């Protein structure tokens, strides 16, 4: 036996033993709503639920009394969840992982370089790492700045995705600056529509990029650069494009946190009341994401104001794998040939 078993749209997860931990997942708000398993036969415990055919789900077993997670011996597929633990995962029959993370025997066609920049006064850290992707071209190329850059580089495999999309002539060659965030102590502040973060981009980040990369002249090509991020980083990506459209005229916003603790962020007021800038925006969100309604609301507001944008929902939730798979379409929309 292995987990899960799927019949139509019904998923069944099984635990074997005298007792069973609870089930937590994308679908059930994780530790906020642990679901008990029912004993269906001696020593066999199960939980069943329905998912759409295009869903991707992450889950774990959990004891709500001891706050302990347990691995699933019936599903070897697991990954680091970015917040100190590991989740098991599976795809429904109609969903697949993007093939653009796979590299051939030669590895990346572009090159990677690693750097440090000064970041005093932004939030909590005096120094940040920036990882640069140099595309396989001698021609000047636009820049894409990536918030939560280390996550997108390591778990999101974004360099591999971009490298493969360039090789397949799905997008034009672009450069990338993967920007380290401030960590849990400062990330919310740094990405909460922060002017100091814009200063970090326009000075040390752009200075490094101009020094190390062969960039398009943004004075001659206004708005040619892009920015992307997810959750709070998705919010900050939209804010960056609205505030600096002459530089960052393209934004890939994944599961943006446009409402925080029930309050609208300033991005709504900017979209509603500011003069509409010349920007091109991509928004995506998973159907199981707790920020889904916020993203639908922002898409509706952008549509009312006549923005150039695309909004797309997918079968995932609030996790890096969902964003990794969805980024392929967003990159083609923003930088397609």
Convert the pLDDT of each residue in 94-153 to its tens digit. 999 999 999 988 899 999 999 999 987 776 778 899 999 999 999 999 999 999 999 999
Give residues with Cβ within 8 angstroms of 150, minimum separation 6: 129, 131, 178, 180, 181
pTM: 0.95
Options 3.30.470.10, 2.60.40.10, 1.10.10.60, 3.40.50.300; CATH of 5-91: 2.60.40.10
Q: For the chain, give the mean pLDDT.
A: 95
Domain-by-domain residue ranges, the chain? Answer: 5-91, 99-335
Does residue 238 have a cis bond before it (omega within 30 degrees)? no
pLDDT above 90: percentage of residues in the chain: 91
Question: pLDDT digits over 206-236, tens only?
Answer: 999 999 999 999 999 999 999 999 999 999 9
Look at residue 337 and tell me whether its pLDDT is greater than 80: yes
Residue 184 has pLDDT above 90, yes or no: no
Backbone Cα Rg of the chain: 21
Per CATH, the number for 99-335 is: 3.40.50.1820
Q: Are strands 143-146 and 175-179 parallel, antiparallel or unpaired?
A: parallel
Report CA torsion sign: 200, 206, 207, 209.
positive
Q: What is the mean pLDDT of residues 317-329?
A: 97
Rounded-to-integer distance, Cα 318 and Cα 302, Å = 22
């Amino acid at each position: 036996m292995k987990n899960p078993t799927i019949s139509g749209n019904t998923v069944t997860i099984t635990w074997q033993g005298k007792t069973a931990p609870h089930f937590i997942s994308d679908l059930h708000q994780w530790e906020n709503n642990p679901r008990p398993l029912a004993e269906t036969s001696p020593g066999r415990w199960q939980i069943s639920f329905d998912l759409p055919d295009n869903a991707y789900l992450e889950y774990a077993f959990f004891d709500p009394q001891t706050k302990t997670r347990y691995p699933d011996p019936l599903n070897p597929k697991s990954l680091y969840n970015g917040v100190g633990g590991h989740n098991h995962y599976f795809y429904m029959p109609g969903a697949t992982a993007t093939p653009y993370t796979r590299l051939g025997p030669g590895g990346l066609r572009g090159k990677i370089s690693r750097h440090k920049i000064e970041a005093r006064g932004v939030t909590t850290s005096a120094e940040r790492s920036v990882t640069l992707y140099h595309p396989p071209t001698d021609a000047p190329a636009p820049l894409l700045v990536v918030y939560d850059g280390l996550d997108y580089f390591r778990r999101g495999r974004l360099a591999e995705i971009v490298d493969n999309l360039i090789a397949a002539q799905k997008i034009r060659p672009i450069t990338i600056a993967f920007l380290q965030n401030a960590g849990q102590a400062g990330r919310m502040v740094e990405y909460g529509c922060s002017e100091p973060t814009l200063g970090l981009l326009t000075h040390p980040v752009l200075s490094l990029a101009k020094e190390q990369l062969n960039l398009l002249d943004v004075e001659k090509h206004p708005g040619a650069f892009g920015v992307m991020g997810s959750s709070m980083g998705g919010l900050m990506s939209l804010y960056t494009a609205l505030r600096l459209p002459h530089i960052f005229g393209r934004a890939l916003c994944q599961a943006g946190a446009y409402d925080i603790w029930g309050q609208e962020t300033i991005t709504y007021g900017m979209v509603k009341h500011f003069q509409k800038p010349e920007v091109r925006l991509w928004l995506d969100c998973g159907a199981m994401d707790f920020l889904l309604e916020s993203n639908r609301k922002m898409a509706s507001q952008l549509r009312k104001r006549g923005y150039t944008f695309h909004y797309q929902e997918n079968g995932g939730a609030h996790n890096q794998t969902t964003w990794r798979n969805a980024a392929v379409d967003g990159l083609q929309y923003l930088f397609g040939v």
